[in-house]
Amino acid sequence: MITVTKTFFPPIEDYQFQLQRIWNNQWLTNRGALVLELEEKLKKHLSVSNIIITNNGTIPLQIALKLLGNCGEIITTPFSYVATTAAIVWENCTPIFVDIHPEYLTIDETKIEAAISDKTTAILATHVFGNPCNVEAIEAIAKKHNLKVIYDAAHAFGVTYNNQSIFDYGDVSTCSFHATKLFHTGEGGALFCRDASLQHQLFYSHNFGHNGPLDFYGLGINGKISELQAAMGLTVLPYMDIILKGREEVFNYYNTNLNFSKLKTIKIRENTMWNYSYYPLILQSEEVLLGVQKALNEQQIFPRRYFYPSLNTINYVFGTLMPMSESISSRVLCLPLYENLSIEHLNKIVVIINKAL
């Protein structure tokens, strides 16, 4: 069976070494030595000045919206994982959808200003499949209208734009370290923020608001990551070059061998060093997609309709029509992509798709 993704498992001996450190320290959570070490190593690896690692990738969105959303209207994309919209609604804000660019698949920055009202407090945009938004245009719009910018960068680990970490853009950026991501801690995530005052708020907000054991800065929740999760991160991180190289080879194989007269894939924004996080196929119609999916499934190959459905259509929001997002969402299929996907399996996938087309 070939699945859309496959969790990277480092050598078990490497993980056991980190576990032994935990047993030696007798410390399981509350920002122990492994968490602190992982944060420092990630800052160096990603070339960022601040990071708060968390217990999952959704908590960072919720914390950012709690601090910056102010129960207002949040301009956002309908083409993202459901967590993006769910976090907005969960924090008593209102998602206002803006359609997407047909090639980059990120929010269409030319449509943002028309969606701004006197209730708008922030823009929450997704770097779709790790592909950067037009961050310069979004920053200009936000500055003009005095709005905050939050980036859902769940897929963007290691991505740089204009030789700068993608996490350095916006007021707050978030990432996921879920087991399906190229860097993972099993479950986990992170907050990034360059403003010292806001970073301080983010930090205490992920730790119940604590100011030491007996005092509190303010309201907070439990977003802390455990030592066990940090141990996995410390074990995976040294293999990132191998992971990225393997994923790039898979991506290039698809690019070379698929029949692009009848399909297309994402366009990566200029000046981006990408991370090969996903391989989305955009087919001519949903009918064609279903035919390709069926042909693959019959051979025990399981791509994923990701992202589907367009988030403006889910039952707890009242979104307006988003023609481009709804069209792309109905026709996009993410192919299997992980670092040790064999040439034999890749050839099988490509042959089935080209034949089905």
**Amino acid 319: pLDDT:** 83
Q: Which of 238, 258, 277 represents a domain boundary (last residue)? A: 238
Residue 148: DSSP 8-state? E
Q: In the structure encoding, which two tokens stand for residue 261, read together?
A: 């007269």
Residue 100: φ, ψ to 5°: -110, 165
**Amino acid 194: pLDDT:** 95
From residue 268, alpha-carbon distances to 36, 45, 120, 274 in Å are 34, 22, 29, 8
The helix/strand/coil state of 170 is coil
Name the residue type at position 81: Y
User: Do 105 and 154 reside in the same domain of the chain?
Assistant: yes
> Contact 325/233 with Cβ under 8 angstroms?
no
- Please write the tens of the pLDDT for every residue from 24-44: 999 999 999 999 999 999 999
DSSP string, 25-80: HT--SSS-HHHHHHHHHHHHHHT-S--EEESSSSHHHHHHHHHHTTTSEEEE-SSS
Residue burial 25-34, b: 16+ Cβ < 10 Å; e: rest:
eebeeebbeb
Average per-residue pLDDT for the chain: 97
- Please write the tens of the pLDDT for every residue from 120-171: 999 999 999 999 999 999 999 999 999 999 999 999 999 999 999 999 999 9
Rounded Cα–Cα distance for residues 33 and 66 (Å): 29
Instruction: Give the structural domain span for 343.
Output: 239-356
pLDDT (mean) for 317-337: 96
Q: Which residues pair with 205 in a beta bridge?
A: none
> Contact 33/239 with Cβ under 8 angstroms?
no
Domain presence at residue 4 = no
User: Do 47 and 98 reside in the same domain of the chain?
Assistant: yes
Residue 327: is its pLDDT beyond 90?
Answer: yes
Give the number of domains in the chain: 2
pLDDT (mean) for 251-276: 97
**Amino acid 117: pLDDT:** 98
User: Do 232 and 270 reside in the same domain of the chain?
Assistant: no
Rounded Cα–Cα distance for residues 96 and 111 (Å): 12
Residue 347: is its pLDDT beyond 90?
Answer: yes
User: Do 254 and 234 reside in the same domain of the chain?
Assistant: no
Share of the chain above pLDDT 90, in %: 99
User: Do 277 and 305 reside in the same domain of the chain?
Assistant: yes
Residue 318: band (very low, low, confident or very high) from pLDDT cuts 50, 70, 90? confident
**Amino acid 243: pLDDT:** 98
Domain presence at residue 302 = yes
**Amino acid 224: pLDDT:** 98
CATH code where residue 20 lies:
3.40.640.10
User: Do 127 and 259 reside in the same domain of the chain?
Assistant: no
Q: Do you find a cis peptide bond into 95, omega within 30 degrees of 0?
A: no
**Amino acid 128: pLDDT:** 98
Residue 178: φ, ψ to 5°: -65, 160
Domain presence at residue 331 = yes
Q: Which of 196, 215, 238 represents a domain boundary (last residue)? A: 238
User: Do 82 and 222 reside in the same domain of the chain?
Assistant: yes
Residue 273: φ, ψ to 5°: -95, 105
pLDDT (mean) for 200-214: 95
User: Do 17 and 127 reside in the same domain of the chain?
Assistant: yes
**pTM, rounded to two decimals:** 0.97
Q: Which of 238, 263, 279 represents a domain boundary (last residue)? A: 238
Domain presence at residue 107 = yes
Domain presence at residue 218 = yes
User: Do 301 and 291 reside in the same domain of the chain?
Assistant: yes
User: Do 213 and 270 reside in the same domain of the chain?
Assistant: no
Domain presence at residue 114 = yes
Domain presence at residue 1 = no
Q: In the structure encoding, which two tokens stand for residue 265, read together?
A: 């894939």
Share of the chain above pLDDT 70, in %: 100
User: Do 227 and 251 reside in the same domain of the chain?
Assistant: no
> Contact 354/335 with Cβ under 8 angstroms?
no
Q: Which residues pair with 138 in a beta bridge?
A: none
From residue 238, alpha-carbon distances to 55, 165, 192, 232, 253 in Å are 21, 19, 21, 11, 25
Residue 207: is its pLDDT beyond 90?
Answer: yes
286-297 and 343-356 helices, crossing angle to 10°: 140
CATH code where residue 347 lies:
3.90.1150.10
Element of type H or E holding 164:
strand 164-165
Q: In the structure encoding, which two tokens stand for residue 247, read together?
A: 């994923």
Domain presence at residue 303 = yes
User: Do 229 and 340 reside in the same domain of the chain?
Assistant: no
